[in-house]
Amino acid sequence: MLTLTAALLATTAPPAGATAPGAPARPQIKVENGATQPVFSRADAVTQTVSIETTVDSDRDGVRDRVQMRIMRPKETDSGLKVPTIVEASPYWAGTHDDVPMHPVDIDGAKTRSLAAVPRNLAEIFPGYLDNYYIPRGYAVAHLDSIGTGGSTGCPTSGDRQEAAGAKAAVDWLNGRAKGWAADGSEVKARWSTGNVGMIGQSYNGTLPNMAAASGVVGLKAIVPVAAISSWYDYYRANGGVLAPGGFQGEDLDVLAKVVLTRKNPEVCKQVIDELTATQDRETGDYSKVWADRDYVGQARKVRAAVMVVHGLNDWNVKVKNSVQWWNALKQSGVPRKLWLHQASHATPFRWRLEEWLRQTGAWFDRFLYNIDNGVTREPRVDIERAPGQWETASDWPVPGTRTVPVSLNAGPAGQPGTLSLRPRRGPAQSMIDAGRTRTAEQLLVNENQADPNRLAFLTPPLTEPVRLNGIPKAAFRASLDGRSPYLTALLVDYGTDTRPTGARLDTGERVCFGQGVPGDDGCTTRQAHRVETAPFKIVTRGWLDARNRHSPSRTEPITPGKAYDFRWDFEPTDYVVKPGHRLGVIVLSTDYDYTLRYPAGTKLTLQPGTSKVFLPLARGGREALR
């Protein structure tokens, strides 16, 4: 057994809560084998609610916004124990607003959808596992309502610096730099706080930690953003084009703000949200100040927190680019970091890799919030789930030895698909007529050995060796467009019947416990496994470009109908193995039914074979397999 005082004696002063020589006995945490141990009682934990003053006035009422935070901490903190805090900030704690119409995506049409209401009771303040697991180990756990939601004031602004100020204020209060008040109006201070703060969460709840870290706030020591946004442009746009998150066609900044607007007197936010509608620009899709204000990648140099990035390789809601570009920016800025890439969609690996998830995230917080030298930063930086339940580690990502290989799109025989080859071969121009308004990408992928008037296909021969795509593929096409749709869409497809993960999960029926239980919350969950299906193909990744933004996502330039231009754009990052006997395909479309705006059918897309290429990031041996 190792006490925290002994563990830190050589490098730091005794932490708050440890016993100094000759001092009266005070409650202490317990550290064993480099990890905090569950010695405090979740059942006896004390709770408090505080309203914290921010530095912004997003609702423009002349008063600084306040954010409400609900805290649970070991009862020993009332007797002198000082602890760090793990915060989960969210716009969802009070539920979501109902009947918010989506923007129409059928251009010249009037189709709308609505998001359904999911009301929540704020009295049920600690769903999830953080309280059961971390309070016994000597942490406080807090739930924070982001601005404009739940018990907070202000207006939701979908990721800008005003919203970041709410998360930052929580860290400031825990460090004595911001004011906070109890429900009775009395000022309260976090005298029990060490000032060391961690943040964790999935989706929007993971994006708020990114926001806070990008602000450079002092005291935020570690974050675990799961399926989180690093640039809102790359959530709602792509390379100049308006783009939907998977499953939410027609959503945008303003729609999301309305969905989470659960504060009292929501009508005060009408002007703020109307301005979002006016400035988000669904006409051109250009990158602008609206998006620059919601881009954290460029602020990575300000990050003081250690960052454990987690993302699903099958996540088409918050796409993988958001985590990969954040990972790369953190690397360039020298930030301590880890990366998990898993086979699910928009999810946290808690329920299908529970023990290792708790070990690594717990070690991450122990290391940076308690300064315990537990070796977590000396472990491999990257965990990758290659197949359901099959994990491997790497020192970096993309894995060392990955090379970018140009592969040419060559013309095939008449009535047959084109080919993919390391050697370019010119041939007659290949044309298709866009029908993506009524045919999905999946419908256009079938019968790949036959010509289809609504897509172009280019395939390798059956592979003799596995090919691992590992990184960010890119497209470089010589092509023309003639018609209403400005989109170029490219898909990388694995053709070959196989059983593959879909991204969804299913309950196994196995109950597993992770922490101390209390009435109504037993500290247990049902273990999950990946859902798989047998299918003749799988879309590995996809990429989109608005042809009018061929030079910059910030600038729309007209295109001349029928004139050939050089277009370059990126696919979503991927880590995927195409097996021997399968074929790798590139499918070219214009409209992508589930993601892009849908213009009237009829746009003609013409591609020049031989001069058009994809650049594939291939792990060692991949190039040889394509010969």
Q: Which tens digit of pLDDT belongs to each residue from 303-331?
A: 999 999 999 999 999 999 999 999 999 99
Distances (CA, A) of 157 to 89, 211, 276, 294, 543: 15, 13, 8, 10, 27
pTM of this structure:
0.94
Strands 66-73 and 140-145: antiparallel
Report which of residues 291 and 122 the model is more confident about: 291
What band does 7 get if pLDDT is binned at 50, 70 and 90?
A: very low
- From the list 84, 148, 95, 85, the residue with the least C-alpha distance to 124 is 95
What band does 119 get if pLDDT is binned at 50, 70 and 90?
A: low
Strands 565-570 and 474-482: antiparallel
Q: What is the DSSP letter of 104?
A: P
Strands 456-459 and 418-421: parallel
Give per-residue pLDDT as tens, 607-623: 999 999 999 999 987 78
Give per-residue pLDDT as tens, 151-196: 999 999 999 999 999 999 999 999 999 999 999 999 999 999 999 9
**Residue 357 pLDDT:** 99
Active site residue 582: no
Give per-residue pLDDT as tens, 553-572: 999 999 999 999 999 999 99
The CA distance from 622 to 420, in Å, is: 14
Give per-residue pLDDT as tens, 404-463: 999 999 999 877 899 999 999 989 999 999 999 999 999 999 999 999 999 999 999 999
How much is the CA Rg of the chain, to the nearest whole Å?
26
Count the helix, strand and coil residues of the chain and give each as a percent rounded to the nearest 5: 20, 35, 45
The CA distance from 437 to 184, in Å, is: 56
Active site residue 99: no
pLDDT average, residue stretch 524-553: 98
**Residue 215 pLDDT:** 98
Going along the chain from its start, the domains and CATH numbers come out as 2-394 (3.40.50.1820), 403-625 (2.60.120.260)
Which position among 58, 90, 203, 480 bears the catalytic label?
Answer: 203
pLDDT at 21 over 80: no
pLDDT average, residue stretch 354-367: 99
Report which of residues 148 and 118 the model is more confident about: 148
**Residue 211 pLDDT:** 98
- Kindly state the tokens that stand for 120: 């929540």
CA–CA–CA angle 240, 259, 266 (5° rounding):
120
Which position among 97, 103, 143, 346 bears the catalytic label?
Answer: 346
- From the list 67, 112, 350, 94, the residue with the least C-alpha distance to 212 is 67
What band does 80 get if pLDDT is binned at 50, 70 and 90?
A: very high
**Residue 525 pLDDT:** 96
Instruction: Report yes or no: 300 and 326 within 8 Å, Cβ to Cβ.
Output: yes
Give per-residue pLDDT as tens, 196-217: 999 999 999 999 999 999 999 9
**Residue 154 pLDDT:** 98
Distances (CA, A) of 590 to 87, 240, 251, 333, 429: 43, 14, 21, 37, 16
* Share of residues in the chain with pLDDT > 70 (%): 93
Instruction: Report yes or no: 74 and 81 within 8 Å, Cβ to Cβ.
Output: yes
SS (H, E, C) 240-263: CEEECCCCCCCCCHHHHHHHCCCC
The CA distance from 501 to 498, in Å, is: 10
The CA distance from 503 to 496, in Å, is: 18
- From the list 338, 337, 324, 335, the residue with the least C-alpha distance to 300 is 335
The CA distance from 425 to 432, in Å, is: 20
Which position among 59, 131, 172, 315 bears the catalytic label?
Answer: 315
pLDDT at 498 over 50: yes
The CA distance from 550 to 556, in Å, is: 8
Active site residue 346: yes
